[in-house]
Amino acid sequence: MKIIFRYTPLLGTALIILLMAGCAAVGPDYSKPVMPVPDSWHTKLQDGLSAGQPRRLAHWWTVFHDPVLSSLIKRAAAHNLNLKKARARLLEARARQTMSRSALFPTLNTSGSVTRNRANNHETNLYNAGFDAGWELDIFGGIRRSIEAAAADQQADREDLRDILVSLLAEVCRNYIDVRTSQVRLTVAAENIKTQQQSLQLVRSRYASGLVTDLDIQQATYSLENSRAQVPSLRTGLNEAMNRLSLLLGLPPGALDEQLRQKKPIPLAPPRVAVGIPADLIRRRPDIRRAERRLAAQSARVGVAAAALYPTLKLNGSIGFGALSFNHLFDSINRTFSFGPAIGWPIFDAGQIRANIKAQSAVRNQYLIQYESTVLTALNEVENALTAYTNEQDQARHLKLSAAAAEKSLKLARIRYTSGITNFTAVLNAQESLLAIQDQTARSTGTLSTDLVRIYKALGGGWTSLNATRSPAVRYKDSTP
């Protein structure tokens, strides 16, 4: 028995579709790079630090138990301009991904025209209508690779949005701590100025009684005015921190002055902080996740470049109608149509396509190096933050003991001075030492809390709170664990 297959357009189309379905996309198939990381932190975990899983990392700022800070965090997440810009970029990436997907489907166009002709004083109308369709078959996966690249770019922009949120939350918290630290330092300066004023009055009283010379008055005046001279710079630092907070919240300068005018203590770090293990960083930090998605997108672009080496196949079809009368425009006798495949294949391009493949592969290697660099940078940031936090705790303990000793020293110096046992220089030195150590203690308290913020930022904390604080204008499903 002899079987004979007759070629028809329908059979040819079916064969082409089956061929397309059986072809895999050319170019490298992406696999996530494996970056070796230490099993534990190099910095010794002490003074409340532990390797346990951080339970409050999503809303880490709540460990300070400060409702004003929590309110500022929520407002910043809703109104920060950089965050809004990142949301707009995410919407753009989604639109581009949709554009890439549309290349998989056929296109259909329609047209129509009416032409009036005049010849030998005789006018005629010519009516035309037509439909054109085209479908480029993705046999070698160039379009599919483009879709992969667009999807990875969209995911990278989503991680960029999260990374901006992580930095934003840390900056809001850091500047809020600066505000409270400046307020405490101003309070310390005011209390010392009051004490120095009392000392000046005491010296003047003793001078009037002939017990001391004018030298003591000048020394007391110098100490008082020197303390007063430090106040303007502290006020400047306070105003700058408030203005930075306003900017982070998308507000003009001075918008938060009324809310933050009431003095409050510096937010204190909790006694125990869980920091997890290094392997958690790769899964958690948005900048690492973004770098990995950029690498995936570029890997797909290598496939797009490789697909250009192979032929392209497009199915074209058209149907047209033309008549002198509109009533007979769609009669079968006035109909024309065409259908058939069109094949394109670059025969000679002077090596341009292969050079482009090499170029895209080189760019992919750059993204791989960037990914590895991002991981190492993240580990370095965490280690530095842990070291700073541990050392600052040690410094804070010594400053607390030093401040207590400075207070006792001033009391003893004043007693000895009023008893005539010592001169005013001892009181002056004790006052200056007390002011310096109290100011340093306030700065150390703020630095300790800021170092904790650095730890949470380095760990990539806060971006999972985006679903609770994001603008309703952006809605997407998050399948990230």
What's the rounded Cα separation, in Å, for the pair 364 and 4? 50
Mean pLDDT of 400-423: 85
307 within some domain? yes
Tokens of residue 350, six digits:
């002077």
Place of tokens 């932190």: 41
- Which range is most confident: 44-53, 265-274, 342-351? 265-274
What's the rounded Cα separation, in Å, for the pair 165 and 468? 12
Residue range of the domain that includes 99: 25-110+140-311+353-469
404 within some domain? yes
Sheet holding 335-344, edge to edge: 107-119, 122-137, 312-323, 335-344
Q: Using the predicted structure, report yes or no on whether residue 370 has a pLDDT greater than 90.
A: yes
**CB contact at 8 A, 342 and 313:** yes
What whole-number percentage of the chain has pLDDT above 90? 30
Whole-model pTM above 0.85?
Answer: no
What's the rounded Cα separation, in Å, for the pair 437 and 399? 7
pLDDT at 467: 55
Mean pLDDT of 25-35: 86
Q: Dump pLDDT digits (tens) for 1-25.
A: 333 333 445 445 544 554 554 467 8
Q: How many domains does the chain have?
A: 1
81 within some domain? yes
Q: Using the predicted structure, report yes or no on whether residue 103 has a pLDDT greater than 90.
A: no
pLDDT at 82: 86
334 within some domain? no
Place of tokens 């997440």: 77
Q: Using the predicted structure, report yes or no on whether residue 276 has a pLDDT greater than 60.
A: yes
Mean pLDDT of 310-331: 80
Q: Using the predicted structure, report yes or no on whether residue 46 has a pLDDT greater than 70.
A: yes
15 within some domain? no
| CATH code assigned at 203 | 1.20.1600.10
pLDDT at 349: 77
Q: Dump pLDDT digits (tens) for 156-204.
A: 999 999 999 999 999 999 999 999 999 999 999 998 888 888 888 888 8
Q: Which residues of 36-73 are buried (b: 16+ CB within 10 A; e: fewer)?
A: eeeeebebebebebeeeebeebebbbebbebebbeebb
Q: Which of 148, 207, 139 is nearest to 417 (CA)?
A: 207
Half-sphere exposure of 421 (CA within 13 A, CB side): 8
What whole-number percentage of the chain has pLDDT above 70? 91
Tokens of residue 436, six digits:
């310096």
Q: Dump pLDDT digits (tens) for 324-356.
A: 777 777 777 878 878 778 888 888 777 888 998
